Structure 1
């Protein structure tokens, strides 16, 4: 999905939980919490998760995943 947001067409390597299972195990089977990512962007998403967790902003992850412009500047 991030590739698409950047105007690139890339095959999906992974299905990721927008809000990590370690933080919200109750969302493990919630399809609204899943999205497709390439390996590169999965690494970037992990950095975004760490930032969100460290700053008490995990609730913002679904918005940040769907809307590139809403992300903190360093993750756009």
Structure 2
């Protein structure tokens, strides 16, 4: 079963990621972009935690934010 953090806990985890991991959030997003083509959030979370020695909580927060931002991204209009 997937466990999601409350909005408050999620924000706190995101704020701490740079100091805990030594990498900024956008760097983790780049890592996910370059990583394996996993479709499920749980698979991405497990891969990130295992491959980069992150706690499951931080890995899950990174993946959730990555998915949220990708979902909310405004498409760039094509020029003709």
TM over 0.5: no
Q: TM-score, normalised by structure 1?
A: 0.30
Q: TM-score, normalised by structure 2?
A: 0.29
Of Structure 1 and Structure 2, the greater strand share is in 1
Computing the radius of gyration over CA atoms, which structure comes out larger, 1 or 2? 2
